[in-house]
Structure formats: structure tokens, C-alpha cells
Amino acid sequence: MSHAEHAHQSIWQKYIFSTDHKVIGLQYLFTGMFMALLGGFFSYAFRMQMAFPGKDVPLWGLVTAGEYNALITNHGTIMIFWVAMPVLIAALGNFLIPLMIGCDDMVFPRINRLSFQIFFLSAVVLLASFFVPGGAFAGAWTAYPPLSSNPDYSLTPLGSVLWLIAVALEFVAFLLGGINFITTMMNARAPGMKMYDIPILVWMIVIASIVFMASVGPLVAGAVMLLFDQLFAVGFYNPAKGGDPILWQHLFWFFGHPEVYVVLLPAMGIVAEILPVFARKKLFGYKTILYTAIATGTLSMFVWAHHQFVAGIDPRMANVFTITTVLISIPIAEMVFVYIATLYKGSIEFSSAMLFALSFLVTFLLGGVTGIFLGASASDIYFHDTYFVLAHFHFTFVPIAILAVFAGIYYWYPKMFGRMMNETLGKIHFWGTIITFHLIFLPLFYTGAAGDHRRIYNYDNFPDLAKPYMNDLRIIATIALIFMLLFQIPFLYNFVVSWKKGAKAGKNPWNANTLEWTTESPPPHGNWKELPSVYRGPYEYSVPGRASDFWPQNEKA
């Protein structure tokens, strides 16, 4: 294709069937944002039922018991598989990896496009499951058999099949995308970019892709087995026929727990990119971060059964998994320490991106600490399946999939669209999100510890739990959720309006070092007129003896 032909591409070719990594990255981003709105709306509907049971929910209507189950199931599924994964790994990975390592595209552009198309198809299949007879799957995002395998129990004969197919397609999309990320980083780096010159975010996305690839295989096989159970009632997970339902739990969590680290590592990577820029200081301990990330990824393969402490697993294995689970806090804590050390004696600028990055560290720390109670098998027996687990989980996943993603969007928006976002609106958005977030989930730690079980649809049926002070906490959480959702309006407004009306960003608005800031904003097709070479690491800020406080990777001496 010559350059002249390029100019005449139709909108269709340019934005829908493009093979350009930047366009595909934005496609993932917009799909993810749309699904996030949907998942957020679901949480609004079922939280309203929690706070005001049996009343009509505005914009939804009465939440029936079946609908409630379908809503929580799909809230979880969407937020993990169709928000966290596509935005953190696919959107940022596609947009940033070629830009950060200085090449013109991913190594397999057409496989990349195929990956997005399969992902899009999977989202369509999932949404379609809401409109089939019986409604969407309602057996929780973990899909334990027999609830998921037997339509007599789940009452969603088609919904559970579509749900499973959607999840399996999504895995295929990310396997294709992951192979692309890994090979691109391994092979397509700019001349001069050595192993320790690669920006941490790229490392993190690649390590996450490898962990994903190593852990998802058994679940792909397990999904095929579950599909046969659903369609032909064969009994892989049916003990009456010689199968075993615990087998699914193992296959699921063998993937499910590494998945937490699959999304955590890119979030850690975003923070690693943002902190040095707004602290004007070299990232403390590049190699430490890299090696702890590899250690985290490896160790994350050894911890999965801590989700099954009450499932009747072998108590001796519970001991082993308690130890490995508590061990994994070591590399994570080390990473957080390194980030805090980066801030020490820095010259910190509290931009919106920096605020979100810092809030990630604080909230994730809280999420991690509450996880210790759940990783230890003895205390987990009490806390299991309560709102304590739920609050812990959201204290880890909201920083990962929401706070870190917002940090990334505020930071890379100028590169994506060539314009700056409004900082005032950004700060309103930040404080609105972070305060309401704590108001939602801190009360839920308490109600969970007081005995609120996760799977209860209406607490009026449980007089011991329907005490007024417990109800008040649920109402506080629900109202805070409504405000949190409303505080996303300034963000969306900012996002849309800045696209056309924001201040022009120029090549390098943050005075950052990494390669993506050395090209136009937004980068043209092919990214650079002349592809850059690399002469140093990505975090050389405030180097003594230099006039300017940053030192781009591609600058000769």
C-alpha cells in the first residue's frame, strides 16, 4: 500500500478495520469504557436492592431474585474480563508498547486486529445473553458447578452457555493479543534498547501476558468440559457420574488467582511510569521492581487454592496454600516500598494523574493488608463469602481497574488525542471518586465482619442481620455508590470536550523521558518519521550536572 493510497482510506478502513496498533488500542479502550458504564449501572441496580429491598429502582424497576443474581454475576464478569483486562492490558499494551519501545507497529498487526474482533464478538455474545429466554447467567462469576452445569439448578439454560462461550472467546482474544505483546517486546525494540532500558510498564504488561498464558490453559480446557456438561449432561463435574465439582474450582482458580496479578502488574507499571515524571526523580530500584514483578508472577501460580478453604479441600493443602499466599505479600510490599522511596526527596507535582497514582498505592495497600485475614485459612473460615471478602476484593480491584486506569488516562490522554485534559475537572473527579470509594467499601468491611453473607438477596429475611445500624451502613454504601457514579460525569465531560477543545499538548507536555513522548501527539501512522534509537534507561530525571531535569531516552549524550 503506498502513501497516496493511505490518504484515501475510508473511515471504515481507518477506524473499524484498522491494523494500526493505536487505533486498536483505542477500540479496546472505548469498548472497555462502555462495558465499565454497564457494569457500574448493574452495581447501582443491585446495591439499591440491598439498601431498599423490594422497592422499585429508578431506571431499572423491581429487582427480582433472579435478576439480582444475574446482575451480580455479570457485574463481576464484566468488570474483570471486559473492563480490567481490555483496558489495562489490551488498550494500554496496544497503544503504548510499540511507542515505548520505538517501533512502528505491533509485530503481527493483523493478528492484533483479529484479537480485537474476537474480543468484540465476545462482548456481543455476553450482552446477547441478557435477551435469551431464561435471562443471563446467574451463577456468580466463578461459575461453580452444579449451579453452572445443570440448567435445572441455574434456570438459565441458554444464558449460562452464552456466558461460557463469551468468556472462552475473550480468553482466545487475549491469548492472541498476549503473544503479540510478548514477541513485540522481545524482538521489535529500538536499536540500543537493552533489557534494563525497557520502561517498567512494558515489562509489566509482558509479564502479565505470560502469567495469563501459563494459567489460562487449564481453564480453557475446563470451559470446554463445562460446556459439554451444560449441553450434553456428560458429567465431568458431576460426582454421580464419576466427575468432580471441586475439579472445576481448581481449574478456575488456577487461572483466577494469577488473573489478579495479571491485572495488578500493569497497574503497578502505570504507577511506575507516572511517579518519576511528577516527582522529577529517577525510579528507585528499577531492577528490584523488575525482579519482584517476576517473583510475583511466578508465586501467583502457587496460591490458587486459598479461594477454596471452605470448599472441602484437603486441610494439609490448606496449610501449604496459606503459606504461599502470605508469602506473596513480600514482593508486593517490596514494590510498594520502592515506589515510596521514589517519592522521597522528589519535587512532587499533584497533577490528576499523580493523585490517582498515589491513591492507587494507598488503597491497594489497604486491600493487600485485609487480604492477609483471608489468606490465612483459620480466619478465612469465618470471613469466607462475607462482605469482608467483597470489600477486600474491591479494595484491590478498584485501585487496579479504576484508579490506575484513570491515572493512565490522565497521563497519556495528551499522547492519544493531542490535547490536554482539564486539571480542575480532573481534581473534582479524583476527590469525588476516592472519597465515595472509601464510603462504599469501608462500611462493607464492617457489615461483613458482622456476618453479612454475600449471596443474600434481601436482608429482611434475616432478622439478625436486618438490624437498623446494619441497614444504615448498607444505605451509606449505596448512596456513596450513586455519588461515585455521578462523579464520573465530570470525567466523561472532560474526556469528550478536551478531545476538541483542550489545550494543544505538543510532543512532550510532561517533560517525560520515555520514547512515546518524542513523536507527535497523536502519533502519525508509523509513529515516527525516522524510528528512534535508544541511549539510556527510561527514568533519568534530575541527573546532576545537566541543565534540564529530564533526559529523553533517544537523546545522544
Partner 1 sequence: MNAHAQSSHTSHYVKIWAILTVLFLISVCGPMLGIKLVTLITAFGIAIVKAYLVAAHFMHLNVEKKYVTYLLLAMVIFMVLLFAGTSPDVMTPGGQNWERIPIPSDSGSTH
Partner 2 sequence: MSFPQPIATNRSATGIPTGKLAVWWVIGSEIVIFGGLLVSYIMLRLFHSGWDAEAAHTNTWFGAINTFVLLTSSLFVVLAHQAAEAGEEKKAFRLIWLTIGGGAIFLINKAIEWSGEISHGLVMTKSVFWSFYYTACGLHALHVIAGMVIMAIISFDVLKKQHMNRVELIGIYWHFVDIVWIFLFPMLYIAK
Task: Give me the residues that bind partner 1 (CB under 8 A), please.
Answer: 214-215, 217-218, 239, 242, 244, 246-247, 250-251, 254, 301-302, 304-305, 312-314, 316-317, 321
User: Under the criterion CB under 8 A, does residue 251 sit at the interface with partner 2?
Assistant: yes
Nearest distance, CB of residue 175 and partner 1, angstroms:
13
Q: Which does 105 bind (CB under 5 to 8 A by kind): partner 1, partner 2, none?
A: partner 2
Q: Measured between alpha carbons, how far is 406 from 355 in angstroms, rounded to an integer?
A: 10
For 61, the 3-state DSSP assignment is strand
Non-local CB neighbours of 242 within 8 Å, separated by 6+ positions? 235
User: Under the criterion CB under 8 A, does residue 220 sit at the interface with partner 2?
Assistant: yes
The helix-helix angle for 423-449 and 468-486 (nearest 10°) equals 160
**Residue ranges in 81-140 that form contacts with partner 2 under rule CB under 8 A:** 98, 103-110
Q: Measured between alpha carbons, how far is 327 from 178 in angstroms, rounded to an integer?
A: 27
Closer Cβ to partner 2, 464 or 530, answer by number: 530
Nearest distance, CB of residue 252 and partner 1, angstroms:
11
Q: Which does 313 bind (CB under 5 to 8 A by kind): partner 1, partner 2, none?
A: partner 1
Nearest distance, CB of residue 307 and partner 1, angstroms:
12
User: Under the criterion CB under 8 A, does residue 305 sit at the interface with partner 2?
Assistant: no
Cell of 492: 466523561
Q: Which does 545 bind (CB under 5 to 8 A by kind): partner 2, partner 1, none?
A: none
Contact call for residues 88 and 96 (beta carbons, < 8 A): no
Q: Measured between alpha carbons, how far is 32 from 84 in angstroms, rounded to an integer?
A: 8
Q: Measured between alpha carbons, how far is 447 from 453 in angstroms, rounded to an integer?
A: 9
Q: Which does 314 bind (CB under 5 to 8 A by kind): partner 1, partner 2, none?
A: partner 1
Nearest distance, CB of residue 375 and partner 1, angstroms:
15
Given 41, 52, 228, 483, the residue binding partner 2 (CB under 8 A): 228
Amino acid at 209: S
Closer Cβ to partner 1, 121 or 327, answer by number: 327
Beta bridge partners of 57: 61
User: Under the criterion CB under 8 A, does residue 233 sit at the interface with partner 2?
Assistant: yes
Query: Following CA atoms 296, 302, 305, 309 in sequence, which dihedral angle do they give, to the nearest 10 degrees?
Result: -80
Q: Which does 232 bind (CB under 5 to 8 A by kind): partner 2, partner 1, none?
A: partner 2
Nearest distance, CB of residue 545 and partner 2, angstroms:
31
Closer Cβ to partner 1, 244 or 423, answer by number: 244
Closer Cβ to partner 1, 259 or 452, answer by number: 259
**Residue ranges in 167-196 that form contacts with partner 2 under rule CB under 8 A:** 175, 179-180, 182-184, 186-189, 193
Q: Which does 104 bind (CB under 5 to 8 A by kind): partner 2, partner 1, none?
A: partner 2
Question: Which of these segments, 85-93, 157-165, 220-228, 440-448, binds partner 2 (CB under 8 A)?
Answer: 220-228
Q: Measured between alpha carbons, how far is 331 from 349 in angstroms, rounded to an integer?
A: 28
Cell of 346: 522528589
Q: Measured between alpha carbons, how far is 293 from 291 in angstroms, rounded to an integer?
A: 5
Nearest distance, CB of residue 151 and partner 2, angstroms:
16
DSSP 431-475: HHHHHHHHHHHHHHHHHHHTT-BTT-S-GGG-TTT--HHHHHHHH
Cell of 496: 469528550
Among 252, 254, 253, 235, which residue's Cα sits nearest to residue 244? Answer: 235
Question: Which x/- pattern, by CB under 8 A, does the window 482-521 give for partner 2?
Answer: ----------------------------------------
User: Under the criterion CB under 8 A, does residue 225 sit at the interface with partner 2?
Assistant: yes
Given 1, 4, 59, 547, the residue binding partner 2 (CB under 8 A): 1
Q: Which does 424 bind (CB under 5 to 8 A by kind): partner 2, partner 1, none?
A: none
Q: Measured between alpha carbons, how far is 207 from 298 in angstroms, rounded to an integer?
A: 10
Q: Kindly state the greatest CA–CA separation across the chain.
A: 75
Closer Cβ to partner 2, 110 or 316, answer by number: 110
Given 129, 160, 215, 249, the residue binding partner 2 (CB under 8 A): 215
Q: Is the preceding omega at residue 146 within 30 degrees of 0, hence cis?
A: yes
CB atoms within 10 A of CB 65: 11
Q: Which does 312 bind (CB under 5 to 8 A by kind): partner 1, partner 2, none?
A: partner 1
Closer Cβ to partner 2, 110 or 455, answer by number: 110
Q: Measured between alpha carbons, how far is 283 from 428 in angstroms, rounded to an integer?
A: 28
Among 75, 42, 241, which residue's Cα sits nearest to residue 150? Answer: 241
CA distances from 264 to 80, 288, 544 (A): 12, 17, 34
For 147, the 3-state DSSP assignment is coil
Given 151, 157, 218, 285, the residue binding partner 2 (CB under 8 A): 218
User: Under the criterion CB under 8 A, does residue 217 sit at the interface with partner 2?
Assistant: yes
Given 76, 222, 331, 490, the residue binding partner 2 (CB under 8 A): 222
CA distances from 333 to 260, 271, 387 (A): 16, 15, 25
Q: Which does 451 bind (CB under 5 to 8 A by kind): partner 1, partner 2, none?
A: none
Question: Which x/- pattern, by CB under 8 A, does the window 19-58 give for partner 2?
Answer: x---------------------------------------
Among 130, 129, 117, which residue's Cα sits nearest to residue 86? Answer: 117
User: Contact positions toward partner 2, by CB under 8 A?
Assistant: 1, 19, 98, 103-110, 175, 179-180, 182-184, 186-189, 193, 213-222, 224-225, 228, 232-236, 241-244, 247, 251, 254, 526, 531
